[in-house]
């Protein structure tokens, strides 16, 4: 039985990946990517996109000064301690932000799409996916956790500034105000990334300009020689003096690179040049100067670290900076919200997540998406985190775990991309993996000490999400195994149709099947019970390819199946494609069929037109598992969980724009 399951499992993977020999050449992929990003192909277009990206991509990263120092458990810090901390943050920003993400990760895009699942699909076409699936799922779950914690900690840290001038303003009021601001932010998401970025980019541009100016002011007035800390020897001195306590402080320092994963995950919303321009010319210099100013102030005022941002703001500009900081914190939430939408959409299309509504908010950029269910779930979880874990340090501890684990998983996947796809020399791969795995390994070991103090939150979120994803994937795989084992081949179909009791009724039928090499068992169930089949029947298969986008010329593939009036139709799409067909879906299939049979018999063309005018129906199987006593407890539980999700998720057919009166669902029980 296990051997049979092994063989069928391999067939499932082959069926899911190798539908036809459509290996996409790299130069074609690059051409398609350039076509899909024409708005950023020229200099001014790139600059405009770079400006817009400020309000979507970099919010979490550039607002990290709000909560980095307050998240550190500093005890009587000295000047040398602060110089060591700044040196660590400078090199973390430089190596992880500039080298890893801006210069390397952005080049590992999959036809313009970025993030964990983009790396996964890229690797799937070149190696066995089993070895990296679990890492990909964990990375995606952690990124969603990032999308929950970034809005919470950013807005809460900004709003806490009101307590400086007004100590009577209680913490509960700050939490309530933060929750209200987040609710408004999530309600704005339905307007789409483009409109949101148009509103948010000026705010983030103002923040990116003002915070380094304040930093320069503090450098001049408090510690002009702060940039000597760029020397790495301050890092070694810091750890030699502080030992174990210095290592524990890393769980706060890691927050300086918060949001850098969004720089990669939000790639589909913009493009590589625009993100690189924005980061290297604005975001990176702004962070270096802001942290330098904060550190310069704290060297002269060592005990103000619990409010490390608002304390270093000059009194005369406190309120303008409070307003800017509050608005910037709202914008900061946007980067991870957008990234979460992208990742959820990719996982739905790759069949790792239950089907939910995905709305494309841009006609020119397929990567800009919005999911109502995801949006409101994030909103509720963000508000819950603020109201339940109002202490910024606890949220900071949770945040650190998410930030570094996502980075570590990205490093592992990038290493595989370098070896398997880019064919980078071994010495360079070793240098990359040693540098970043060592650095991120130190951070991971430190943040894990905070599991009890809030670090468990992202793990709880990730376990729930991973369980949902595994349950859905397991159920889908078992269903595919059954269909491949009990599929109807052409000989069996000919035998069914040769039965004199089976009638050919007028009309055009689109019969949806999950199998290309044969037909779903639902077909046999349908014919045996209905005793009829339409004169023109098109067996339609929807299949994703492990590429972001499929060329329009390859989107719909039709062929004759050797029986009169029976055709096959394959609708292909990538994880960045929209299935919302422009115009009439049926007309597009008919047009493809007419082009295919153009040189055939005139009667065949006439039958097709008559069938279209008679009636059009879409037959879709509604299958469920029949869980028998022979099933193991594991199968009973997982398949029951899958059935619960399947019965509550959206159907795949409405995404094609099929009218409800034309839909027919045929129920069938699959024996587990």
pLDDT band at 236 (very low <50, low <70, confident <90, very high): very high
Q: Among 270-279, 529-538, 579-588, which is the least confidently predicted range?
A: 579-588
**16: pLDDT strictly greater than 80:** no
State how beta strands 566-573 and 616-626 pair.
unpaired
- For the beta carbon of residue 434, count every other beta carbon within 10 angstroms: 10
pLDDT band at 192 (very low <50, low <70, confident <90, very high): confident
pLDDT band at 103 (very low <50, low <70, confident <90, very high): very high
CA–CA distance, 335 with 150 (Å, rounded to integer): 9
CA–CA distance, 253 with 450 (Å, rounded to integer): 13
**332: pLDDT strictly greater than 80:** no
Whole-model pTM: value is 0.73
- Across the range 643-660, mean pLDDT stands at 78
Q: What is the pLDDT of residues 457-506, one digit of tens each?
A: 777 888 888 899 889 989 988 998 898 899 999 999 999 998 999 999 99
Predicted local confidence at residue 429, as pLDDT: 95
Tell me which of 566 and 153 has the higher pLDDT. Answer: 566
CA–CA distance, 454 with 459 (Å, rounded to integer): 10
**164: pLDDT strictly greater than 70:** yes
Q: For the chain, give the mean pLDDT.
A: 83
* % of the chain at pLDDT higher than 70: 86
3-state secondary structure (DSSP) of residue 166: coil
Which residues neighbour 600 within 8 Å (Cβ) at sequence distance 6 or greater?
A: none
Predicted local confidence at residue 6, as pLDDT: 46
**658: pLDDT strictly greater than 80:** no
Q: How many CA atoms lie within 13 A of 595 on its CB side?
A: 10
Residues in the chain: 672
User: What are the φ/ψ torsions at residue 668 (nearest 5 degrees)?
Assistant: -155, 140
Q: Is 229 exposed, middle or buried (0-12, 13-18, 19+ CB in 10 A)?
A: buried
Q: What is the pLDDT of residues 590-629, one digit of tens each?
A: 888 888 887 667 788 888 889 989 999 999 888 999 888 8
Predicted local confidence at residue 15, as pLDDT: 44
User: What are the φ/ψ torsions at residue 537 (nearest 5 degrees)?
Assistant: -120, 125
Q: What is the pLDDT of residues 434-453, one digit of tens each?
A: 999 999 999 999 988 877 77
Predicted local confidence at residue 162, as pLDDT: 84
Q: What is the pLDDT of residues 547-579, one digit of tens each?
A: 667 888 888 899 988 888 999 999 887 756 766
Question: SS3 for 569-629, per residue?
Answer: EEEEECCCCCCCCCCCHHHHHHHHHHHHCCCCCHHHHHHHHHHHHHCEEEEEEEEEEECCC
pLDDT band at 212 (very low <50, low <70, confident <90, very high): very high
3-state secondary structure (DSSP) of residue 506: strand
User: What are the φ/ψ torsions at residue 561 (nearest 5 degrees)?
Assistant: -110, 10
CA–CA distance, 136 with 541 (Å, rounded to integer): 27
What the chain holds in terms of domains, given with CATH numbers, is: 52-60+77-474 (1.20.1740.10), 489-671 (no CATH)
pLDDT band at 91 (very low <50, low <70, confident <90, very high): very high
Predicted local confidence at residue 286, as pLDDT: 96
CA–CA distance, 331 with 199 (Å, rounded to integer): 9
Predicted local confidence at residue 8, as pLDDT: 42
Predicted local confidence at residue 79, as pLDDT: 95
* For the ranges 176-185, 192-201, 593-602, the one whose mean pLDDT is highest: 176-185
- Across the range 525-538, mean pLDDT stands at 93
Which residues neighbour 580 within 8 Å (Cβ) at sequence distance 6 or greater?
A: 360, 655, 657
370 within 8 A of 189, measured Cβ to Cβ: yes
CA–CA distance, 295 with 12 (Å, rounded to integer): 56
Predicted local confidence at residue 28, as pLDDT: 40
């Amino acid at each position: 039985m296990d051997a049979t399951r092994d063989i069928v499992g391999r067939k499932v993977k082959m069926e899911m990946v190798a539908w036809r020999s459509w290996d996409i050449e790299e130069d074609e992929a690059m051409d398609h990517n350039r076509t899909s990003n024409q708005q950023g192909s020229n200099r001014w277009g790139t600059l405009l996109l770079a400006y817009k990206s400020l309000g979507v991509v970099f919010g979490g990263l550039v607002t990290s000064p709000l909560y980095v120092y307050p998240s550190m458990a500093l005890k009587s810090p000295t000047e040398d301690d602060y110089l060591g901390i700044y040196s660590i943050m400078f090199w973390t920003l430089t190596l992880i932000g500039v080298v890893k993400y801006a210069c390397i990760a952005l080049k590992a895009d999959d036809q313009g799409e970025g993030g964990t699942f983009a790396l996964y699909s890229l690797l799937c076409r070149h190696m066995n996916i089993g070895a990296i699936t679990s890492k990909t799922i964990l990375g995606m779950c952690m990124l969603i956790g990032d999308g929950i914690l970034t809005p919470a900690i950013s807005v809460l840290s900004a709003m806490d500034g009101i307590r400086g001038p007004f100590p009577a303003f209680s913490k509960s009021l700050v939490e309530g105000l933060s929750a209200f601001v987040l609710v408004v932010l999530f309600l704005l998401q339905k307007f789409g990334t483009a409109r949101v970025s148009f509103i948010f980019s000026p705010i983030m541009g103002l923040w990116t300009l003002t915070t380094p100016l304040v930093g320069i002011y503090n450098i001049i007035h408090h510690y002009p020689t702060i940039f000597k800390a760029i020397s790495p020897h301050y890092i070694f001195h810091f750890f030699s003096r502080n030992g174990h306590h210095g290592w524990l402080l890393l769980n706060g320092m890691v927050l300086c690179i918060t949001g850098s994963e969004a720089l990669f995950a939000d790639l589909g919303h913009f493009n590589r040049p625009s993100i690189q321009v924005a980061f290297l010319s604005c975001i990176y210099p702004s962070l270096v100067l802001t942290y330098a100013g904060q550190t310069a102030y704290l060297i002269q005022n060592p005990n103000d670290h619990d409010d490390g941002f608002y304390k270093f703001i000059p009194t005369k500009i406190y309120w303008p900076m409070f307003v800017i900081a509050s608005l910037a914190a709202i914008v900061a939430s946007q980067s991870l919200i957008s990234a979460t939408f992208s990742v959820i959409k990719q996982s739905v299309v790759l069949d790792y997540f239950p089907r939910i509504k995905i709305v494309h908010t841009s006609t020119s950029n397929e990567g800009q998406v919005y999911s109502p269910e995801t949006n409101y779930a994030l909103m509720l979880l963000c508000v819950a985190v603020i109201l339940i874990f109002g202490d910024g340090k606890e949220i900071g501890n949770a945040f650190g775990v998410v930030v570094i684990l996502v980075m570590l998983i990205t490093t592992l996947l990038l290493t595989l991309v370098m070896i398997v796809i880019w064919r980078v020399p071994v010495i360079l791969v070793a240098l990359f993996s040693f540098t970043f795995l060592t650095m991120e390994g130190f951070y991971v070991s430190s943040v894990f000490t905070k599991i009890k103090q809030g670090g468990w939150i992202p793990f709880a979120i990730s376990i729930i999400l991973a369980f949902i994803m595994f349950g859905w994937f397991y159920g889908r795989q078992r269903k595919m195994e059954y269909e491949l084992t009990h599929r109807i081949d052409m000989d069996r179909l000919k035998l069914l149709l040769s039965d004199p009791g089976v009638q050919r009724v007028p009309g055009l039928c689109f019969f949806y099947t999950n199998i290309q090499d044969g037909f779903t068992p639902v077909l046999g169930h349908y014919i045996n019970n209905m005793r009829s089949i339409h004169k023109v029947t098109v067996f339609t298969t929807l299949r994703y390819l492990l590429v972001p986008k499929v060329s329009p010329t390859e989107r719909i593939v039709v062929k004759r199946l050797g029986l009169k009036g029976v055709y096959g139709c394959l609708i292909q799409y990538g994880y960045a494609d929209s299935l919302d067909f422009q115009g009439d879906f049926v007309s597009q299939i008919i047009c493809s069929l007419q082009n295919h049979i153009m040189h055939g018999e005139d009667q065949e063309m006439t039958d097709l037109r008559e069938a279209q005018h008679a009636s059009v129906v879409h037959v879709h199987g509604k299958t469920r598992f029949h869980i028998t006593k022979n099933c193991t407890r594991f199968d009973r539980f997982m398949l029951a969980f899958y059935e619960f999700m399947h019965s509550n998720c959206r159907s795949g057919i409405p995404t094609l724009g099929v009218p409800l009166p034309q839909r027919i669902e045929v129920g069938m029980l699959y024996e587990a």
